[in-house]
């Protein structure tokens, strides 16, 4: 196994603890008291779900694409369930979020934070969907994810982003649909036309394509 695991009962956030560890370390907590999500949000972290941070090397200007590498790996790890991917790096089950990924940089390394709602969640937990049926639990899911992450990172290193981009698109939710993207600087509407070679969202508006790097996606029909 490539990874060295460090387990804790409770941490403020696995992201903060992971700063002290070298690449290929994994910090796992049973629960977090200050779990955080993207865009400054709180990540509810009661016991029973999976909370981990995998420390990986910095990939320079390709580092943001690691979020898609991790999302593809997480979808593979959850392949027993009919999961889909939501831009930029959420995992959905039955159209609702069951897992999120947070990428942070720390002195020459990258902290890939993953939270999976196995038994409880503000939105949806795998357990609540009836898909769980005792087939999967946190330790198995952790090992599956680490194996898939290692493979996806190997493909990314050898072949670049394109194979990851294709896999991500194959599992993408919202593709070809009317969406609204809430960005820090405002809202944009259009058709979700895919992701580009950097992982940016491509939003088709009339005959132009708008490129979006930060934001939250919602289906237009759900906004009405």
Which one of residues 72, 74, 86, 100 is an interface residue with ligand BTN (CB under 6 A)?
Answer: 100
Cβ atoms of 94 and 124 closer than 8 Å: yes
Which one of residues 37, 46, 48, 64 is an interface residue with ligand BTN (CB under 6 A)?
Answer: 37
The CA-atom distances, in angstroms, between 58 and each of 7, 108, 112 are 23, 6, 11
Helix (H, G, I), strand (E, B) or coil at 34: coil
Cβ atoms of 47 and 31 closer than 8 Å: yes
Helix (H, G, I), strand (E, B) or coil at 108: coil
Q: Does residue 14 interact with ligand BTN by CB under 6 A?
A: yes
Q: How many CA atoms lie within 13 A of 191 on its CB side?
A: 9
When the beta carbons of 34 and 211 are compared against ligand BTN, the nearer one is 34
When the beta carbons of 45 and 203 are compared against ligand BTN, the nearer one is 45
When the beta carbons of 143 and 191 are compared against ligand BTN, the nearer one is 143
Q: How far is the CB of 209 from ligand BTN (least distance, A)?
A: 26
Residue numbers at the binding site for ligand BTN (CB under 6 A) = 13-15, 32, 35-38, 41, 43, 51-53, 90, 100-102, 113-115
């Amino acid at each position: 196994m490539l990874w060295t695991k460090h387990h804790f009962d409770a941490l403020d956030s696995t992201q903060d603890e992971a700063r002290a560890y070298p690449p290929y370390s994994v910090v796992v907590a049973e629960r977090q008291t200050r779990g955080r999500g993207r865009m400054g949000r709180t990540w509810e972290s009661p016991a029973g779900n999976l909370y981990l941070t995998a420390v990986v090397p910095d990939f320079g200007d390709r580092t943001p694409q690691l979020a898609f590498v991790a999302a593809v790996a997480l979808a593979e790890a959850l392949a027993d369930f009919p999961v889909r991917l939501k831009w930029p790096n959420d995992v959905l089950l039955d159209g609702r979020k069951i897992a999120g990924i947070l990428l942070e940089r720390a002195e020459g390394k990258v902290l890939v934070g993953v939270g999976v709602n196995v038994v409880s969640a503000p939105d949806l937990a795998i357990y609540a969907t009836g898909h769980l049926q005792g087939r999967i639990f946190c330790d198995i899911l952790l090992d599956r994810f680490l194996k898939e992450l290692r493979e996806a990172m190997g493909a990314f290193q050898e072949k670049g982003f394109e194979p990851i981009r294709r896999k991500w698109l194959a599992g993408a939710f919202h593709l070809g649909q009317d969406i609204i993207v809430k960005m820090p600087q405002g809202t944009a509407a259009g058709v979700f036309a895919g992701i580009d070679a950097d992982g940016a969202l491509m939003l088709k508006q009339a005959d132009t394509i708008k490129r979006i790097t930060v934001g939250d996606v919602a289906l237009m029909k759900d906004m009405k």
